[in-house]
Structure 1
Amino acid sequence: MKGVQFYFNDSEHQISNRISAMPRLDASIVKNLLVVLQPNPYADFLKQAPELNDIDQYCIVVRSDPGLDQRTYNKPLSNEVAGIWIEDESEENANADMLDIRVFTKSDILTQEQQEFTGPSIDTDIDMNEDSPLNHNQRRKRWTLSCREYYLYKLQDGVNDKSYILRFGRLFQQYRVDNYIKIESMPLQFLKTNQKNTRREYYQGVQDSVISGVISRGKVGKGVYLPATFIGGPRDMRHRYLDLMALVQEYGRPDIFLTMTCNPNWLEIKERLQPGKEAYNRPDLLARVFKAKLNILNEKIMSGEIFGEVASVVHVIEFQKRGLPHTHFLIILKPTFKYLSPEAYDQIVCAELPYQRTNPYLYSLVVKHMMYGPCGDLNPENVYIKEGKCKNHYPKWFCEHTTHGKGSYPVYQRQDNHRTTKVRGHTLDNRWVIPYNPTLLVQFDCHINVKICCDIRAVKYLYKYVHKGHDKIMFRIAPENSNSEVDEIADFQNARWVSLVEAAWRIYGFALHSMFPAVLQLQVHLPKFQTVQFEEDADLEQLLQDERQKRTMLTDFFNMNAMDHEASELNMLYKEFPQYYVWHTQFSAWPRRKRGIVIGRMCAVNPIENERYYLRVLLSNVRCPKSYDDLLIVNGVLSNSFQKASYK
């Protein structure tokens, strides 16, 4: 099968599957063997061997790269069904026709008539009854139905729901993950097949093509790329990180780092489960309830009810190999509400067991959600043990008072007051308490970790951490060829790990990121080197005569400074312009902003780009320039390059 390779990971039923295949096996022995083999990398590779037809021609290739980011290339910590989606970027597979279903005769001979099935057409249960979503779309005068909308409709559980899909346990989980893989594959396939239709080229490059007599438009433009509009892609993650750095530049370092994890025992989830079913059987419930709780938390933070008035709030949803979704919040408070002393830290963060007699409910929540581990000497087999030590540095030290730490976070008060509790068979004290906010813990009844960011050194780590991207997993079975050259890149296959709740979350169309205020990326280009977009069969001469193609964010910024008295009076830098004006893409113009807060960010430019890099330097320092020449004039003298003007 060419194109996307897809695997399911289901570890819960391994024992029963083996016993059913060989009844003479002892279940207890099989269970012990699975425990022994779990951390063994050879066992992981051998699990894939039955999928190979010519197994004798294959060997196991084992590679270890400690340089990989273990935040994404970590092993699963939960027992769940997940999809492993191999992203094959080879040109052969990119251009190959995807055949999702092949039809064989009883004699295992492939029929001559091969059919291609894509999207919802694979499923045989599509109906057109009066409640079908397509009919609803017709009422709204829309005759199309997206793949996501169809699966969203099929996976809803109504009051009088008669659908059996939601009752099939693990099979339903695989069905849901498979559906999401189909949904995300479609835009990727569209981008691959439409690279030749839409080209991007510098305006000057188009002009040069016309002058040199180029007739074939297919020779003009750039190659294949994955745009930043594809959510979760590398360009998207980098753009979001740079946007957050623009917020830090405007408002300062983050003050609070908050993490909230979904609680499968929330009452809203338990009430909707069928008798005898566990929460993991209904990832749709986990996603919907967690989204509702997330909205409430975001409203409380934005209103200033919990921490005070905020200048900026960013949150990111993650679906790691831990079975439950969680969110990271990075909060920047307004100057008058910042927490600047250890006494202020104690007002919102606690890292101790509460007194059980006076506050029994809070005590129960801390024991249930906010006790770490145990690990270290108490549990050397803990997954967070690295080189014999806990990578999160638990247990902490006793501390009589909160103090500023040497690192990026304070050392919280953890008194040796002999308060203990028994967790997972071990007696733990205040050294094992994860920092929390009592008010939020009581309101949300889940793991909700709150940390104070007291050092600027935490900024880049935190913002890169929350935008590290999707989880992946490493495995490879390679054909045996002793004469083949060593290719360290080909020795690994980057496999996207798609969890149950992530599939549900994305099918429901819930956002993965949120940022306040918004950040607008500003173009930086040399004269006549702006990027233009055009169809493959476009008339290039007519394209050059289009005034809108000549106007860009930057050139119209110059025009506004020269022609608009109000813009000239404001005397702004280029990055400050979006705070007062709105970029209108359709008309390529800057009308005055009437509402909302937007921060401008000039796109990143590498110093090796020479003149364009120095142009960006000048735009960062010269106020109210009216043209490119204005940037070149320093002390009344016109320089012949942006580099010389920058030096002056």
Structure 2
Amino acid sequence: MMMAKSRLPHPFTCRHCNARLFHHESRDTCCNGGKVSFSRVDAPIELQQLFLDGSTEGKHFRQHIRSYNHVLSFTSIGVHVDENILASGRGIYTFRAQGAFYHNIGGFYPNEGVRLRFFQLYIYDTDNELHNRMQENPQLHQSVVHKLQKMLHQFNPFVIRFKQLSILPNISECSLILKERPRNHHQYNLPTAEQVAKIIVGCDADSMDYGRDINVIRCDGNLKKVQETKGYYDPLQYPIRPNDQSMLLNAGQLLQQYVVDNYVKIESGRLRWIKEHQSDIRSELYQGLHDALHVGETNEENIGKRTILPSSFIGSRRDMTQRYEDDMAIVLNGGKPDIFLTMTYNPSWSEITSELLSFQTPQDRPDLLTRIFHSKFEKLKDDVINKGVLGKVKSYMYVTELQKRGLPHVHMLLVLESNDKLCDPKDYDSMVRAEIPKLECEPQLHEAVVRHMIHVPCGIINRKSPCMKDGHCKKRFPKQFLDETHQGTDSYPEYRTRFDESVSLGKDRSVDNRWVVPYNPWLLLKYDCHINVEICSSIKSIKYLYKYVYKGPDCVAMEVHKGSYMDEVQQYVDARWICAPKALWKIFRFTLYRLYPSVERLQIHLPNCHQVRFYDHQQIADVLNNERNSKTMLTQFFALNLRDP
């Protein structure tokens, strides 16, 4: 079987901002056709060299860029980073953070007996600034820290202003205000030293309204939280971030942290709005209002004490539950799924490697990885759904998921039209294979299967494999040798895996057909990546498949209740894990879930047990006496059936 690998159409360059746009990306991916513009400010030559050159200094700087940024930042960042992934020593680097981000700025002076850190290094004991920074992380190259420190003192307006602050005789009486939008300062221009700060002496700063400015008023060394939406937060937390945005794409590990940090800002804004507008989204069961009234409760404020995270927030528990039920409605109407397909990105795609610099790896460009995978999946959807390469599709649903290391993949379920349904093992063999093809007969397919479709050796060979649970492989590898495909007794058929010679994978490793993940030859050759295709052979498989697809976001299992109050927003924040590709997927507003056909949700409820919206100021009796509140789509559907034959 000979077939050319599928390549995306050549990317085009936006004539307004020079951004590279890939297949299926519109102009609103970048500058929206020139409607958004930023003045270009080139990074200092010395900084560009550290980002781009192949010297020992440059390599060490890029490898430890988060640490270099840390010792030069003005503020501190607090977040739980999953170090277990890094400690394993396997696979790619991933900045994967859990829970909320905290951004703090300290006082002008440290507490007694505490070494200088962050903001204080620019104000106190500036004669020993380099020595103090190296104490923070002795593993860094002092020459690189000195070079970066020198650049900041020369070009960074914050540093220039803070040096002026350090020589004030009455600094203990001062407050420092970092103005977000100083007068006569165009928002897209680089600020000057005179514009970035305002020093107030002998004033009650707490009583002043500074809007979104950053206020530094402590001289006792204690930390003060900086809200992530403050105007000058970014340049304080990321001082070595180049103003040239194309240079930021060369920041590797720091780019990953920057992306995650900024997505958290976006999501935090949405969650903050939800918390502040609970009166608009709160609801209580109609029967629950009756029950509360019967026990003497007349004040609505005391009913249903919880902060609700509504289903309109993508990824919330309500959202996931509703999508699961929507998909089950499609199964009820159209029958069980016929095909379960999983597609995972390939870091060696030419569309990715051709955009990298000589010293970069795919993990250094999570933005590129995310966008190329999205474009490839759009092409796969066209082949599978519109062109019907696996059969004419009647209905489908898919979920985009990102693994612990941030590797994007999509799970898709397909329901085929009656004439294209797969009825027996011969039909299965025509679509799905689970063997390594002969090298001399199908060289391209042989190479693709060995590269993409071999399950990572596990069991006795590798007990530390991620698929191992209680001493057994969750995916049931290695399989048994079989001369013919069998129907199977649970989720999938038992595919033909005939005994044959082992194939060498190098490094004293070899595999045979028992380790092959089922695949479709045409899709594998065209897309040159891991594409697992499974036949849904039994009705028993539906529950497993849907639970797997909608198992929820990658998060920590935790649920803490304080008294009778439940904060669903805080539960979500505390439990979430975010990595750079996942953050970028959401920043780019790529679709996470989709199903076809669409489902109209008819709220099913017992008599007087439907949901009712109400406000804090309303009395329960008024809510109950409002005839409109006793009607729902379901009750009116029944009423329509009574009236209309």
TM-score, normalised relative to structure 2:
0.60
Partner of 1:405: 488
Distance 1:75 1:455, change over 3 A: farther
Is the contact made by 1:241 and 1:467 (CA closer than 8 Å) also made in structure 2?
Answer: yes
Distance 1:214 1:382, change over 3 A: closer
Partner of 2:187: 128
- Mapping 1:143-542, distance limit 5 Å: 163-196=246-279, 198-202=281-285, 218-219=301-302, 223-418=306-501, 420-423=503-506, 425-472=508-555, 495-527=575-607, 529-537=609-617
- Mapping 1:87-126, distance limit 5 Å: 100-108=103-111
SS in structure 2 of the partner of residue 427 of structure 1 = strand
SS in structure 1 of the partner of residue 399 of structure 2 = strand
- Mapping 1:542-621, distance limit 5 Å: 549-564=629-644, 568=645
Q: Which runs of 5+ in 2 are unaligned?
A: 1-58, 69-77, 80-84, 113-119, 121-171, 190-227, 236-242, 559-572
In 2, the alpha carbon distance for the partners of 1:253 and 1:112 equals 72
SS in structure 2 of the partner of residue 357 of structure 1 = coil
Distance 1:452 1:207, change over 3 A: closer
Distance 1:317 1:13, change over 3 A: farther
Q: Deviations over 1:379-427 (max 9, x none)?
A: 4443434455433232222211111223321111122243634355312
Is the contact made by 2:458 and 2:467 (CA closer than 8 Å) also made in structure 1?
Answer: yes
Is the contact made by 1:83 and 1:178 (CA closer than 8 Å) also made in structure 2?
Answer: no
In 1, the alpha carbon distance for the partners of 2:501 and 2:290 equals 78
Partner of 1:85: 98
AA matched with 1:106: Y
In 2, the alpha carbon distance for the partners of 1:116 and 1:246 equals 57
Is the contact made by 2:487 and 2:493 (CA closer than 8 Å) also made in structure 1?
Answer: yes
Give how far 1:175 is off.
0.5
Give how far 1:206 is off.
7.0
Give how far 1:550 is off.
4.8
Distance 1:114 1:212, change over 3 A: farther
Q: Deviations over 1:530-562 (max 9, x none)?
A: 422233346889877877545420122133223
Q: Post-superposition, which runs of at least 4 consecutive aligned residues in structure 1 deviate over 6 A?
A: 74-77, 109-117, 204-215, 539-547
In 1, the alpha carbon distance for the partners of 2:517 and 2:260 equals 33
In 1, the alpha carbon distance for the partners of 2:173 and 2:335 equals 65
Give how far 1:262 is off.
0.7
In 2, the alpha carbon distance for the partners of 1:258 and 1:321 equals 20
Is the contact made by 2:282 and 2:308 (CA closer than 8 Å) also made in structure 1?
Answer: no
Q: Deviations over 1:294-318 (max 9, x none)?
A: 1121222222522212222111111
Distance 1:430 1:208, change over 3 A: closer
In 2, the alpha carbon distance for the partners of 1:495 and 1:334 equals 41
In 1, the alpha carbon distance for the partners of 2:580 and 2:388 equals 33
Distance 1:499 1:112, change over 3 A: farther
SS in structure 1 of the partner of residue 594 of structure 2 = strand
In 2, the alpha carbon distance for the partners of 1:234 and 1:114 equals 44
SS in structure 2 of the partner of residue 336 of structure 1 = helix
Distance 1:207 1:403, change over 3 A: closer
In 2, the alpha carbon distance for the partners of 1:116 and 1:504 equals 32
SS in structure 1 of the partner of residue 547 of structure 2 = helix
Distance 1:271 1:408, change over 3 A: same
SS in structure 1 of the partner of residue 104 of structure 2 = coil
Give how far 1:203 is off.
5.4
Give how far 1:276 is off.
1.5
Distance 1:430 1:541, change over 3 A: closer
Deviates most, 191-200 or 540-549? 540-549
Q: Deviations over 1:619-638 (max 9, x none)?
A: xxxxxxxxxxxxxxxxxxxx
Is the contact made by 1:202 and 1:529 (CA closer than 8 Å) also made in structure 2?
Answer: yes
Q: Deviations over 1:258-293 (max 9, x none)?
A: 111011111111122223211111111111111111
AA matched with 1:308: G
Deviates most, 250-259 or 446-455? 250-259
In 2, the alpha carbon distance for the partners of 1:220 and 1:447 equals 51
SS in structure 1 of the partner of residue 486 of structure 2 = coil
Distance 1:86 1:463, change over 3 A: same
Partner of 1:635: none
In 2, the alpha carbon distance for the partners of 1:441 and 1:393 equals 22
In 2, the alpha carbon distance for the partners of 1:353 and 1:518 equals 39
CA RMSD between the two structures: 4.3
In 2, the alpha carbon distance for the partners of 1:113 and 1:218 equals 44
TM-score, normalised relative to structure 1:
0.60
Count residues with an aligned counterpart.
446
Give how far 1:439 is off.
0.6
Distance 1:526 1:350, change over 3 A: closer
In 1, the alpha carbon distance for the partners of 2:633 and 2:498 equals 57
